Amino acid sequence: MGAGIIGVGRYVPEKVLTNFDLEKMMDTSDEWIRTRTGIEERRIAPDDIDTSHMAYFAAERALQDAGMEAKDIDLILVATVTPDRPFPSVACMLQERLGAVNAAALDISAACAGFMYGMVTAAQFIDTGTYKYILVVGADKLSKITDWTDRNTAVLFGDGAGAVVMGPVSPGRGILSFELGADGTGGKHLYKDEYIVMNGREVFKFAVRQMGESSVRVLEKAGLTKDDVDFLIPHQANIRIVEAARQRLELPEEKISTTIRRYGNTSAASIPISLVEELEAGKISDDDLIIMVGFGGGLTWGAIALRWGR
């Protein structure tokens, strides 16, 4: 039995910040944002809701979906670049709130590719039999590290969390192949100083190339082809980057997730949030082949070929 997903959950804050709201805050326009990014609105967490709170809300729903209790979890992995504080980790805070008394806990810092890193890390523990059930969460409150006077970055980001419970699944299902990578020489193009700093042109070029190449390589590693792909869930950073990945896999538009319109870029949360959205919409069925692919600051990237089902 391989490692796969047996429960999912997501959380997004109630407050909606639209492009028209941003027009009142800075020199930008709804048309400018939509045509360049594909984003129409994003969610913003209030001051009393931090990353660990969002992670908790998503994790509770994932546990419920898996039909499990927190005490059943062996390990908690939280992908985030916006922890509540330097330490304790968000994972440790989440362990306490959930009552996951039997779980080890740690954070993963790989920016927007963090959820891919978390899933792949979890799979190694499950495949070796070291742990049976692992909670993987992607959660970020990017609004607290966004410069709301910089129209080049402020229009991109939102807050949210997504979670999956991973464990053994039936033969032939679960993670079939993966790729993780990093290029530290590109770190200067996307990083946090006081706020997020990004060289949009360079990150765009990197992302368009890497998302497509990684998706193709995980298919090759699994002995599959583009024709086998049933659905693509890319990191939601920019609609043009998402579209480039779709074209590389030669997929019709109905086979790709585009939640960026409603949520913007939620960093490590974007892929699990999208997964839950598409499951709820009935777009993913048992035994479908899903490609998940993301990139982020570091620069980092990761891709997974997964056969859906428990």
User: Any catalytic annotation for residue 92?
Assistant: no
Mean pLDDT over the full length of the chain: 96
Q: What is the pLDDT of residues 32-56, one digit of tens each?
A: 999 999 999 999 999 999 999 999 9
Q: What is the pLDDT of residues 92-107, one digit of tens each?
A: 999 999 999 999 999 9
SS3 content of the chain, % helix, strand, coil (to 5): 40, 25, 30
Confidence check: pLDDT of 154 > 90: yes
**How many CA within 13 A on the CB side of residue 2?**
16
User: Any catalytic annotation for residue 189?
Assistant: no
Which candidate in 19, 92, 112, 238 is catalytic? Answer: 112
How much is the pLDDT for 298?
A: 93
Within its chain, how far is the Cα of 2 from the centroid? 21
Confidence check: pLDDT of 229 > 80: yes
- Report which secondary-structure segment, H or E, holds 43: strand 41-43
How much is the pLDDT for 111?
A: 96
Q: What is the pLDDT of residues 173-219, one digit of tens each?
A: 999 999 999 999 999 999 999 999 999 899 999 999 999 999 999 99
Q: What is the mean pLDDT of residues 124-139?
A: 97
Q: Among the residues of the chain, which ranges form H helices?
A: 19-23, 30-37, 51-66, 90-98, 114-127, 151-154, 200-221, 239-248, 260-263, 270-280
- Which residue's entry shows tokens 């989440």? 94
Q: What is the mean pLDDT of residues 110-117?
A: 97
How much is the pLDDT for 16?
A: 98
Q: What is the pLDDT of residues 80-91, one digit of tens each?
A: 999 999 999 999
Q: 40 near 20, Cβ under 8 Å?
A: no
Residue 35 contacts by C-beta under 8 Å, 6 or more apart in sequence? none
In whole angstroms, what is the distance from residue 302 CA to residue 174 CA?
Answer: 16
Report the percent of the chain where pLDDT is more than 70: 100
What is the rounded radius of gyration, in angstroms, for the C-alpha atoms of the chain?
18
**122 token code pair:** 């979890």
Which candidate in 19, 53, 189, 265 is catalytic? Answer: 265
Q: What is the pLDDT of residues 279-302, one digit of tens each?
A: 999 999 999 999 999 999 999 999
Confidence check: pLDDT of 1 > 80: no
Q: What is the mean pLDDT of residues 16-29?
A: 95
User: Any catalytic annotation for residue 112?
Assistant: yes
Which candidate in 19, 92, 189, 235 is catalytic? Answer: 235
Go through 92-108 and write b for each residue having 16 or more CB atoms within 10 A of its CB, e for each that does not: bbbbebbebeebbbebb
